[in-house]
Structure 1
């Protein structure tokens, strides 16, 4: 007796086809790295994305820690100038700076706080004070800071800002795309399968929603939901489903005339089961491709809303906001545009390649 051969499920077959697509697998790895960077990166990075380094505004990327040797003397002079002290000499041995100063009036030992407030020094202390208190020697640890991709116009570490922006952009894209996917697929498949007057009525509702001014609608969402980013972009996803619904409806109208759907209807299969088992799986290819286009669309939409003051608010940021800031400073700080743009470009390439691979893997005609 011939032994029965175990069959493969449709999902397993699709995953095996996907595994043979090297570009899709590489893109999936890149996206996984983005997710890990967005979740873990801000918590383990050298700098906090909210910390402002007033002494390091728009400094370029460097593997060498700041401050440079030639910056220590001007930095000490600027910090102690507020205490009306004149810096005579600064000597640096290792990571300890010895600062000699004099003044026209007695020096208060508490002026070390001016050095501690500077980003260049830490743990400042009085070493010696002259008998007339008009000259003194201070010692302070040189605070070393490494900015691998430079700082922004406010003196914040750009790498930390990129990591938190990846988290925010991916979160916004996932929420909005997920909501648009669920609503659009169910709505479009139902309208296309039922057809007739119900289809006509449901599509007229879509046309009415298309006619609403988007910015006005978003302002209403902000009024109702406040500045909560999560709730607002869930609501934005509830608007972005319109294109998804039209695409799915068109595919469903084509599929509803196919033999396997008519056979299921003749056998008495309920409409809900036909939608779930025959219609929706067969529209997965176009839906996945559209999802890969919707994710960057949502990211760009978020940057537009943030530019209007309706999206992500400080101290949070996103890739769109960073690129907009970099464009304004590209003449004197090109790294503010280059690195966020490279991060967004790599993300979009990965999404497109993965979307193509998923489309090919889940295409029913390739089964």
Structure 2
């Protein structure tokens, strides 16, 4: 039998649907996903982060592996060595063996040639190890002898390498180094921003809610720290603690929380006058409970927006410090380090500057578009 809907049942279903409602965060999420620029930026940023996390293990190169025969080779989809590189490399190796290369035949994955001794002595087969020491070839094998060993037929396998982004001034794969640099830059941006947000939110909310002399003293501390030059502060940290990766988090996070403290303090001064805060005070809720349950949660809107704007700022600061030589040091790298190296070699190796700049610029644009989308989504005037 089919169920019959009565007016009471319809009214009850409508009441249940009405009481469920939607939270403000759900509404904000819906508005954010309707923003095409922000949604595309989220997808692109996720792709960049995933590529930086998993890409270095798939390129076939270590970020610090040096190829002496592939210094500043341009980016190409073809595999190295190129046909124009094979013959000169063979001639260089043959000269070290004190022989001359003749009858070179390139079969793609291997080459065949004849080594002719430059003297009356036979070709020393032990010197064929020079082929294996090269970045272009594998272990050479002698396949025949003529003229009492003065003519030696040799078969040499070719090591095929792909450098999609080319190589740098030291012969290291630029794709691998760009992805590893993305790990460092994104890690510094996210972790330093997290440190700045935690300190700034706690400091600003406490100062704004307590007010009075406590607020005066705490904000004067902020003003004093504002007066210290950022570069001077970083140089002092480098002098006392040396150059290390953790230092970047301390240097950047210990300065960037000042803006967040002022923003949260201003929001707290407005929120603590609201009726629900006064009601909590009247019910005997302590200061810690009011801060944790009422003040801080209601400041998260501006905090989230500012966080998306602070991450690109921190990445740019790290790039600036690395450009000055105060940031990440070799063999580790970051986008700022790669851009600094590419700027020095821009005349002859423009790809060294282009690829790190593309990744850095794309990431900064994505974060700014996400910040704009969050600002619009969390704006109470648009609800």
Same fold (TM > 0.5): yes
Q: How does 1:137-286 map to 2 (within 5 A)?
A: 137-222=153-238, 225-230=241-246, 232-258=248-274, 260-262=276-278, 264-266=280-282, 268-286=284-302
Question: Hey, what's the Cα distance between the residues in 1 that align with 2:201 and 2:267?
Answer: 11
Give me the CA root mean square deviation.
Answer: 2.3
Assess if the C-alpha contact under 8 Å between 2:97 and 2:124 holds in 1. Answer: no
Other-structure match for 2:46: 32
Runs of 4+ in 1 over 6 A off after TM superposition: none
C-alpha distance 364-236 of structure 1, shift in aligned 2 (>3 A): same
Moved more, 340-349 or 46-55: 46-55
TM-score (norm 2): 0.87
Other-structure match for 2:317: 301
Other-structure match for 1:71: 85
* SS of residue matched to 1:340: helix
Could you report, residue by residue, the CA deviation over 1:96-143 in whole angstroms, capped at 9, with x for unpaired residues?
A: 101222222432211121111112111222222335433322211122
Question: Hey, what's the Cα distance between the residues in 2 that align with 1:267 and 1:243?
Answer: 33
1:82 and 2:92 matched: no
1:134 and 2:134 matched: no
Aligned counterpart in structure 2 of residue 56 of structure 1, from 24, 48, 70: 70
1:333 and 2:342 matched: no
Question: Hey, what's the Cα distance between the residues in 1 that align with 2:361 and 2:323?
Answer: 20
- Rg larger in 1 or in 2? 2
Other-structure match for 1:352: 368
Assess if the C-alpha contact under 8 Å between 1:282 and 1:363 holds in 2. Answer: no
* SS of residue matched to 1:238: helix
1:260 CA displacement: 4.9
1:199 CA displacement: 0.9
1:45 and 2:59 matched: yes
TM-score (norm 1): 0.91
Could you report, residue by residue, the CA deviation over 1:296-326 in whole angstroms, capped at 9, with x for unpaired residues?
A: 2221222233234332122221111111111
Aligned counterpart in structure 2 of residue 120 of structure 1, from 136, 153, 168: 136
Other-structure match for 2:3: none
Question: Hey, what's the Cα distance between the residues in 1 that align with 2:74 and 2:228?
Answer: 45
* SS of residue matched to 2:49: helix
* SS of residue matched to 1:25: helix
1:314 and 2:330 matched: yes
Moved more, 69-78 or 261-270: 261-270
* SS of residue matched to 1:66: coil
Could you report, residue by residue, the CA deviation over 1:29-88 in whole angstroms, capped at 9, with x for unpaired residues?
A: 112112211111111123222222222222221111122212211011122323333223
Assess if the C-alpha contact under 8 Å between 2:342 and 2:350 holds in 1. Answer: yes
Assess if the C-alpha contact under 8 Å between 1:66 and 1:145 holds in 2. Answer: yes
